[in-house]
A and B are shown apart, each in its own frame.
Chain A
């Protein structure tokens, strides 16, 4: 006969405030199999755990039920507790009396009755519990970092410096990400490229890092310590092993000034063969197959040629002709690379809000209304205007520059409800840069609130106002329209409560907010994790586990989690590296023992389980002429679908057997 001990936790007043814990504890002693019952203020505290351990030893308990918070909160804590008392850690069942009872029930009596029922169910279930032993799986000590922005770079370098192999996958032709596009960084006004480029080079040269640019993750399988990942290395049409980075080819491409360069936010052109920017890593060009004349012209070998007619020739091919190394290879194909990893790091970054939704700001059609990212490129000395701040419409120096904050951010009607966190700061920085380059310009900043929480941030905004003469006006801009070669801007000054009309505005810079990448949900599905309702990757716990995601062995850092600035992105990248280090400090991981097993004596070899298993973890085996199904424990994820499908009851999910569940139903309704 089972000897069950029941421990009811008050959780301070969280449970005891609604549930009569004494009554539940007293009633529990009458449940079949229960030989001990008590209640404590905080079961999870050291003192509370000691009570449990002592009671197990003194009363020779062989099973334990704890009525407390959700098992998602403290199941692992209590597994360790019962283990300390010498029991198998799976001889434990939690009755969820907080999240499922006290916090959601208005009436005290009803809450107490419900709590009793849940305790009965837990006793019923634990009565049929069997000791379980975790399996052991080896850890593949290699990490995959997805995304080569500053967060991915920092995470990759830190993990590689610990001595582990890292593969970095970057979708674009070069690593560097958003930070590479910026001119200066707040609040120190460090040149962005100057502090980033050395890190990019470190990644390329690190003996433990393998860099796969122009590549994407296609498929992820497996589990913590043993992920199988398929990476698509897109055809670059330039052999990375041969190319010396002389870039002679780029100068000869007939399309060299015809295609908008994404890196320059479309403000400068590139060719069909290009590196996105001068400091690109790797410094190996890519041929854009959407534009390249050679690749778009028909393949002579595939064209049917009538007799007497000449075979058509491929067009262009100039880049191949000028390359002294013979690195251009028009026959290159996409390559699928299959790799094994123990951990996956997501650092896929963010996108910027598309301001064409703002009709009142010209919907993207007024040339002198630009985004902050456009401004970064324009003010950058390697950008389209070589660092001269000019009006895109006529190339003249602007005399009156207006910055508008919160475009897309904090706008539930047209944009997103959240604050993008970086816009107040980069606007102050850009105002300072305007003053440095255009000493006579008038600078206005329209803002809703200034949010400058960070080291040296508030001081930086004050400097923009006091030392650099940026005029901050609190209020929303309601309309911008063109007039006489300039722009007219209408707004409200909410501090003085007056409408504002400003004419002769030459340049408007919109502080567009940060949004999730448009394919973030797709990526999350590929990896088997979730996003929030804005498309940002969800963490396990926003406060206590901010860089772990709900699939074990997968971590995230940087702005793919939520909008954040460079210091925060770098800090989370370091945190991720530490987490990966902790994981890789294990040679062997304990696998969850709650997996399916199939009794070969009961198995009728009908194959129903094989066909329903979503993880292909069940195969048919044969022994001495008898067929039976067998579970691969390493692949089984413990969903129990096989168990539900099995007619003879041969397939059972350990820890969730038919017996256990049926008894718990009976306990609620009959006991």
Chain B
């Protein structure tokens, strides 16, 4: 294992809960690793399995769906 490995994790976050939660984390100045790239989706219902596959095929290290 490399020390402090850098990942690219694609997040699909529901606009109403998790995305707002990520905003709140910012408002509270909570720091977390920079590996996560959050995409705002209108609802986790919008989460097409294709999106996760696409992200992995394009080289993402992980996919995080939250809602």
Contact = CB atoms under 8 A, between A and B. Distances in A.
A-B complex is real: yes
Interface of A: 70-72, 96, 98-101, 103-107, 110-111, 113-114, 117-118, 121, 594, 612, 614, 638-641, 643-644, 653, 656, 658, 661-662, 664-666, 668-670
Per DSSP, chain B at the interface is mixed
Nearest to B48: A644
Contacts of B51: 661-662, 665
Interface string B34-65: 10011111110111111100110011100000
Nearest to B27: A99
Contacts of A72: 19-20, 23
Contact of B31 (A104, A117, A121, A668): A104
Size category of the binding interface on chain B = 20 to 34
Per DSSP, chain A at the interface is helix
Contact of B34 (A70, A105, A643, A644): A105
Interface of B: 6, 8, 10, 19-20, 22-23, 25-27, 29-32, 34, 37-43, 45-51, 54-55, 58-60
A98 B27 CA distance: 9
Q: What 5 A-B pairs come out closest when comparing CB atoms?
A: A99-B26, A641-B45, A640-B46, A639-B43, A110-B34
Given A662-B51, A666-B54, A670-B58, A656 B42 contact: yes
Contacts of B27: 99, 103
A666 B43 contact: no
Contact of A114 (B22, B30, B34): B34
A99 B29 CA distance: 8
10 contacts: A71-B40, A72-B20, A99-B25, A99-B26, A103-B26, A103-B29, A104-B32, A640-B41, A661-B51, A665-B10
A614 B26 CA distance: 31
A656 B31 contact: no
Contacts of A666: 54, 58
A17 B15 CA distance: 27
B37 A668 contact: yes
B58 A653 contact: no
Contact of A656 (B41, B50, B55): B41
A576 B52 CA distance: 44
Contacts of A105: 31-32, 34
Nearest to B20: A72
Contacts of B55: 665, 669
B32 to A, nearest CB: 6
A668 B61 CA distance: 12
B21 to A, nearest CB: 10
B37 A114 contact: yes
B45 A612 contact: yes
Contact of B43 (A100, A101, A641, A662): A641
B9 to A, nearest CB: 10
A656 B25 CA distance: 25
